[in-house]
Chain A
């Protein structure tokens, strides 16, 4: 067991908020090949009742990336990142993310275990806005393959 069991149940707050910009959402939408007007057209988004363009549902992964990486690359955690693959991912959207949001991500280690010799870590990251209201809860499992 390479993973540090003392990390289970702990929160790892990340101080730097993620500022959701118009161009970052447009860049992400282009990268996934999605031309939904609500991801790029500010007037269309406002007509649909949003303050600004909205982000694709999986954009949340970009929002939490730095906070999650700060935890995953922590040498004390003991995760061999060179052999890590993504096991599963789940997003619960409490409301859509839109341009102008200032989002804070707090990752938690929900579980670590060994499955078929592989180290498996399950994370939950709570994303909140400047008012502290919940925006998204992201659950992800990463697997460090032992067969490499």
Chain B
């Protein structure tokens, strides 16, 4: 069911999402996005630049955060603006479970004239937020 603007209120929660980011997914994402920075797949290089281990691509975390919005709105073409700040790395262990990412979102603002909703997203890894000012603007009917 596509959400309808007039049914929405500021503070309404979108369905949350819990994801597991694995090393295998980082390799897959590197190829799909064309981002082969070794800190996302080579623990030696990650440690050489002061990281505890391999970290997820920030853009993969952003893409995951976007899913909370597009899963809810259905048509991804309704997402007109999307922004995040990358505040903490998502450290991805060398196991089958990977890093657990907890994604929640609420309606932060509604513009009745434009019929747009601002969605404020929270992304948490190991109990701490990893994105700041994660916001999407969606157009609704």
Binding site for B on A (CB under 8 A): 24, 27-28, 30-34, 36, 38-39, 48, 50, 54, 56-58, 61-62, 65-66, 82-83, 85-93, 95-96, 139, 145, 147-148
Contact = CB atoms under 8 A, between A and B. Distances in A.
B31 A58 contact: no
Interface of B: 19, 25, 28-29, 31-35, 49-50, 58-60, 62-64, 66-67, 70-71, 75-77, 79-86, 133, 136
Contact of A34 (B31, B70, B82, B86): B70
26 contacts: A31-B32, A32-B29, A32-B60, A33-B64, A33-B67, A34-B67, A36-B76, A56-B63, A57-B79, A58-B59, A58-B66, A61-B33, A62-B33, A65-B33, A83-B49, A85-B58, A89-B58, A89-B83, A90-B84, A92-B80, A93-B79, A93-B80, A95-B77, A96-B76, A96-B77, A145-B49
A118 to B, nearest CB: 13
Chain A interface helix/strand/loop/mixed: mixed
A31 B29 contact: yes
B112 to A, nearest CB: 21
Nearest to A32: B63
B120 to A, nearest CB: 15
A85 B86 contact: yes
A88 B19 CA distance: 22
Given A30-B28, A36-B71, A58-B59, A148 B79 contact: no
Contact of A39 (B25, B62, B76, B84): B76
Contacts of B25: 31, 33
A87 B63 contact: no
Q: Residue among B25, B29, B50, B62 with the most chain A CB within 10 A?
A: B62
A62 B81 contact: no
A32 B31 CA distance: 11
Nearest to A60: B82
